[in-house]
Structure 1
Amino acid sequence: MSYLELSGLQKRYRDTVAVDDVSLSVEKGEAVALLGPSGCGKTTTLRMLAGLVDPDRGAIRLDGAEVTRLPAHKRNMGYVFQSYALFPHLSVARNVGFGLEERGVARAEIARRVAEALAMVRLSGLDQRRPRELSGGQQQRVALARSLVIRPSVLLLDESLSNLDAKLRDTMRHEIRSIQRSLGITTLFVTHDQVEALTMCDRIAVMHRGGIAQIGSPEDIYERPATRFVAEFVGRANALPATRDAEGRVVLWGERLPVAAPASGEFDLFVRPQRIRILPISEPVAESMMRVTGKVLRSVFVGDHVEVLVEGADSQIQVELQSGTALPQEGAEVALVWHARDTLPFPRETA
């Protein structure tokens, strides 16, 4: 049995099923992200785990013991809220030590552990400040220290980086991951940010319509999405309407492609923009490569890469090239080339 087990969790709000039969196993010291769009059930799942919401059905086990109906304060789980939920009238030290005070820990021990926690998040010397005197990143660290100081069995992060600006968010992602690894603390965090999920965790559980669509390593989720939803939600991908010829081979923009098609039904080919190369039409390529031709509509510089839009017979393909790459002229006829292994066919969705 894994250190943390969620089995068949379900939560309904009137006629809406927020979480539907969610099961998840987490090993001790592992970091797992619950990734998905708003309304997919990820925060409700986290709140059931924390004891803030009662499940209608299912079970939660921690280190072999069932905690499904155990009150939140008896689960020894640290929860970092999206809003941080700091007490504005208390100092940083009192905010961090609040959970220890509630547990009746001796004053000298509280002072020692608060100092340790503040040092861990690089806030030593700010213990007497009020939250309003701190930056957003510092407030986030106080909230993290408050959760870590109780030495939780599990650390829960609920969109806790969403209020930070992009540069600070990137810094905090790496700091939290470093702390998590150094402490070996079992961690679950909710996010709709794919970069957070891909960089901060050992595994990702992609949630959709109250359930888990796929769970796996960041590489598995990105490179081998199990469903059309996962392919569309994680990263960027072109969804290209394709057909079969009389012999069952895939046809895109009038070109026969060396890739297997689904046995039946209409389908689209998914290919990520950064996996495509742009070549002159006259340049030969291996027969095993995917190759179509089209006309360049526009090129847009976006900093670390350039987005090129190419139009074909019945759709458009977006390509991402590294900055500094020689760009094709708008209106130019070009060949688009990529590996068959980077092509994923999924059934076409109907309205």
Structure 2
Amino acid sequence: MSYLELAGLQKRYGNSVAVDDVSLSVEQGEAVALLGPSGCGKTTTLRMLAGLVAPDHGAISLDGAEITRLPAHRRNMGYVFQSYALFPHLSVARNIAFGLEERGVARQEIARRVDEALALVRLAGLGQRRPKELSGGQQQRVALARALVIQPSVLLLDESLSNLDAKLRDAMRHEIRSIQRSLGITTLFVTHDQVEALTMCDRIAVMHRGRIAQIGGAEDIYDRPATRFVAEFVGRANVLPIQRDTQGRASVWEQALPVEAAMNTDLFVRPQRMRIVPVSEPVGEGMARLTGRVLRSVFVGDHVEVLVEGGGGQLTVEMPSGIAIPAEGAEVAVVWPHAESRVFAREAP
């Protein structure tokens, strides 16, 4: 048995199914992301784990002991809320000490552990400030310190970076991951941001309509999506309708492609896996190829997005900045390794 086990968790609100048969195993010291769009059940799953919501069915075990019906205050879990939920009338130090005071820890021990927590999140010397006197990133660190100071068995992060601006969010991703690794603390992180999930966690559980659609490492989720939803939600993908002729041969843009596909299927290819070459360049073994014309190109910093049109459809190719980009209207070939192609059933309208 893994350190943390979720087995068949279900939760309904009236006729609405929020979480539907979610099972998940997490090893001690592992960081796992629950990734998905709003309403997919990820926060409800986290709140059931924390003891803030009671499951209708299923079981939760921690370190070999079942805790499904255990009150939240007896689960020893640190929870960082999306809004941080800091007490505005208390100092930073008192906010961090709150959980220790509730547990009856001796005053001298509280002072020592609060100082350690402040140093851990790089807020040493700011203990006497009030939350309103801190920046958003500093408030986020206070909330993290408050969750860590109780020395929890599991750290739970609920969209805890969503209120920060893009640059600060990027910095905090790396900082939180560094702290998690240094402490070796088991962590579950709820997010709708795929970059956060890909960079902060050992594994990712992609949730869809209350269920886990796929769980795996970042490369597995990105390069080998198990479902159409995962392929569309994680990263960007070109979705190209596949046609079949009377002999059953597959084609895209009325051009034959070496793919095995049933009726009503679409071809998925990541823009980063494609490249643009002259139409006259021969196709190597194991490569797929489409021809079209450049509609436009857009510079976006570290790469250029080139939109190619052909056969009644469009696709995007991401090319590195600094290389020659074909002019608008130019006839080009788009090539990619056939192994990068993924085929999924077309969704009903």
Structure 2 residues not aligned, in runs of 5+? none
Letter aligned with residue 130 of structure 1: R
Structure 1 residues not aligned, in runs of 5+? none
Superposed CA deviations along residues 263-316 of structure 1, whole A, max 9, x for unmatched, are: x32110000111111111111121421001001111111112111111110211
**Deviation >4 Å, runs of 4+:** none
Q: How does 1:299-338 map to 2 (within 5 A)?
A: 299-338=297-336
- Kindly indicate whether residue 43 of structure 2 is the aligned counterpart of residue 46 of structure 1: no
Superposed CA deviations along residues 22-68 of structure 1, whole A, max 9, x for unmatched, are: 00000000000000000000000000000000111111000111111
Given that 1:51 and 1:72 are in contact with CA atoms closer than 8 Å, whether structure 2 keeps it comes out as yes
Letter aligned with residue 290 of structure 2: V
In the alignment, which residue of structure 1 is the partner of 2:268? 270
Letter aligned with residue 151 of structure 2: R
Given that 2:244 and 2:263 are in contact with CA atoms closer than 8 Å, whether structure 1 keeps it comes out as no
Which secondary structure does the structure 1 equivalent of 2:124 belong to? coil
The range that moved more, 272-281 or 149-158, is: 272-281
- CA displacement at 1:325 relative to structure 2: 1.8
- CA displacement at 1:250 relative to structure 2: 2.2
Q: TM-score, normalised by structure 1?
A: 0.98
RMSD: 0.9
The range that moved more, 134-143 or 249-258, is: 249-258
- Kindly indicate whether residue 289 of structure 2 is the aligned counterpart of residue 291 of structure 1: yes
Aligned partners of 2:280 and 2:23: how far apart in 1? 53
Given that 2:88 and 2:131 are in contact with CA atoms closer than 8 Å, whether structure 1 keeps it comes out as yes
In the alignment, which residue of structure 2 is the partner of 1:94? 94
In the alignment, which residue of structure 2 is the partner of 1:135? 135
Which secondary structure does the structure 2 equivalent of 1:195 belong to? helix
Q: How does 1:126-275 map to 2 (within 5 A)?
A: 126-261=126-261, 264-275=262-273
Letter aligned with residue 103 of structure 1: R
Aligned partners of 1:287 and 1:104: how far apart in 2? 69
In the alignment, which residue of structure 1 is the partner of 2:77? 77
Given that 1:239 and 1:268 are in contact with CA atoms closer than 8 Å, whether structure 2 keeps it comes out as yes
Aligned partners of 1:116 and 1:81: how far apart in 2? 22
Aligned partners of 2:128 and 2:260: how far apart in 1? 64
Aligned partners of 1:76 and 1:281: how far apart in 2? 62
Which secondary structure does the structure 2 equivalent of 1:5 belong to? strand
Q: How does 1:98-137 map to 2 (within 5 A)?
A: 98-137=98-137
Among 331, 337, 340, the residue aligned to 2:338: 340
- Kindly indicate whether residue 68 of structure 2 is the aligned counterpart of residue 68 of structure 1: yes
How many percent identity over aligned positions?
80
Superposed CA deviations along residues 165-202 of structure 1, whole A, max 9, x for unmatched, are: 11111110001001101111000010000000000001
Given that 2:286 and 2:339 are in contact with CA atoms closer than 8 Å, whether structure 1 keeps it comes out as no
Q: TM-score, normalised by structure 2?
A: 0.99
Aligned partners of 1:249 and 1:91: how far apart in 2? 70
Letter aligned with residue 228 of structure 1: R
Aligned partners of 2:265 and 2:323: how far apart in 1? 33
- CA displacement at 1:246 relative to structure 2: 4.1
Aligned partners of 2:285 and 2:169: how far apart in 1? 44
Letter aligned with residue 326 of structure 1: A
The range that moved more, 238-247 or 146-155, is: 238-247
Superposed CA deviations along residues 49-102 of structure 1, whole A, max 9, x for unmatched, are: 000001111110001111111110000000000000000011110000000000
Letter aligned with residue 280 of structure 2: S
The range that moved more, 209-218 or 239-248, is: 239-248
- CA displacement at 1:247 relative to structure 2: 4.1
